[in-house]
Every structure is written in structure tokens, then in C-alpha cells.
Amino acid sequence: MNKIVVLDGFTANPGDISWNCFESLGHLKVYDRTPYEFVVERARGYRIAITNKTVFSREIIVALPGLKYIGVIATGYNVVDIDAAREYGVTVTNVPGYSTESVVQAVFAHLMNLTHRVAQHSESAKSGEWVNANDFCYWKGELVELAGKTFGLLGFGAIGQRVAAVASALGMKVICHSRTESKITAAGYEAVSLEELFARSDVLSLNCPLTNDNSGIVNFKHLKLMKSSAFLINTARGGLINEAELAEALNNGIIAGAGVDVLSTEPPKAGNPLLTAKNCYITPHLAWATLEARHRLLKIAYENVESFQRGEPINVVN
């Protein structure tokens, strides 16, 4: 019987989803979290390992000769040394597309919070300001209507395309910058240069993978091109942003606000400048984590393992 170990199951499944389907594939052991120094000890003797963020370096892969499969329960698979896995005959799979709708929803959750100041007004009301108000309503700063505004997208993959559709449904003009310019125009949107994207966007949403070319692309040089009324949304990767320079831009009114679900280091260090930046709202990398998305995540991860065992692996990344 195949032996399957899940090394960091808690984030994807803190107990509200069953692992039973995996038990039908072999002997199953689930750990909530596994520090790097315990990976070899816990994975030794297992043919199949499941990981979310637990790292499989070359050193670890070499130390586990019986390991034949690493299933990453995420879309990104940078936690695995892909070259080493290929060299030692270890199949690596990922789970693409499971969280698209949830991430799109998170983009607009951040945007609605920024434009109607939802969190700010909720705290104001609960603190007693509404109880003591002279009028039936009040608002603490400018509220923004999205219809007619320009929505800019950096990236036009599956998530970016869905974000564009929702922005269009809200009556916004969509402009995009991406390597796949033909897809943008074929979908009926305007393809623009990077500089034009920053300069024209009332809302700029980052929906692209992190690469060597775009690391820190949101920096002071580009932020200075933006409207002082503009909002920035990042549900992609924290490394796209130079966090110190974004904090400076927010604190000095270069742009109006930001909503970010990802930071360069997670969990962040206490001194991360965005944690104290003006009008910056941060969620702890939860855009993907709706119950529905996590059900899909485990279902596809199960199908990946089952297909591997049949000798017909799917979603292979190496």
C-alpha cells in the first residue's frame, strides 16, 4: 500500500474539510506543520509527500530515495527544487486554477473597502461616533464611485481576465499591461505601456506572477506617475512591491490608498513599513482561502495523487 504524508496540512485544512479521500489511496499521516529540520525524518519511508509551503530542497530530496511524488497543494511550486526532483525521478504536481474566483472577490473586497471606507466607518460607528452624531449619517473623508473610472491591470492571466470582467460590469474602463498583448485586445480591452498603466489608472490591480523582471516593479519611480486619488490592490505576490517606497508614497499622499493581501515576507517582520502606512489595509494572504476554494484545492490534489498512482499523472510541473 502507498504511504502518503501531508507535512503542513493546517493552512489548507484547519479541520473544516475531511482528508478521507486521501485515506482511500493509501496509509495517510497528516502533520499540521513541519519545520525544515524535521522534513526528512517525517517523510522517510513515504512514497508520496504533500506540501503547501514546506520546502523540498535538493538536500532533502537526495536524503529521501524512496520518495517518488511531491504534490504541492498550491499553484506556485517554488518550494520544491524542480531540477533536483527531475534528476532523482520525483514527480512534482501543483493545483492550478482552484482559487481564481476567490482571489477576484478579494480584489474587489479591498477596493470596496477603500472606496467606501468600510473598515474606517465601522470602527467609527462602534466607537460611539454615530450614537453621538448630530445627523442621521456622516462620512469621514471622500467616498468614491467606481463607474466611469479607469481600472488598470498588471497581468492578464486567468485571474486578471476575471478581474477585468468584474471591473467592466461595474462600469469601469479597463486597461492592461501584459506580455500577452494580443489576448488583451482580443478580449476587447486596451493594451498600454507600463508607464501609461501607472499614469492612467484610478485603480491598479496586480495580478501577475513574480519574476526577476518585475520584482519591485511598484517603486517610487512608477508610483510618482500615479494620480494622487489612485488606489493600488495587490493579491498576487508581495515581491512585486518595494514596500518602503509604497509606504512613503502613501504617507506623503502620492497615492490615496492601498489594499494588499501579500507581503514580501510572510509572516511579516514587525518593522514592515506597510503595517503602519497611512490608508494601507492588509489581509494575511487569505484571498485564496474561501471554504469553496479549499474544497476544490483538496479535490484536485486528490485527483493528482490518484492519477499518479494510475501511471497517468496530471498537473505535472517538472
Catalytic residue numbers read 237, 266, 285
What are 171-174's contacts with CB under 8 Å, separation 24+? 171/146, 171/147, 172/146, 172/147, 172/148, 172/202, 172/203, 173/148, 173/149, 174/150
DSSP 8-state class, residue 189: -
CB 55 within 8 A of CB 79: yes
Please list, in sequence order, all residues whose beta carbon lies within 8 angstroms of the beta carbon of residue 90, skipping any fewer than 6 positions away: 61, 67, 68, 69, 70, 84, 318
**Pure H helices in 91-240:** 100-116, 118-126, 158-169, 181-186, 194-200, 220-223
Q: What angle do CA 273, 277, 281 make, to 5 degrees?
A: 110
Distance of CA 89 to the CA centre of its chain: 30
Closest C-alpha to 202, from 181, 180, 171: 171
3-state secondary structure of 31: coil
Q: Which regions of the chain does DSSP assign to beta strands (E)?
A: 3-6, 27-30, 48-51, 69-72, 91-93, 150-154, 173-177, 190-191, 203-206, 231-234, 257-260, 280-282
Place of cell 502606512: 277
What are the φ and ψ backbone dihedral angles of 70, each rounded to 5 degrees? -120, 115
Terminal-to-terminal C-alpha distance of the chain: 25
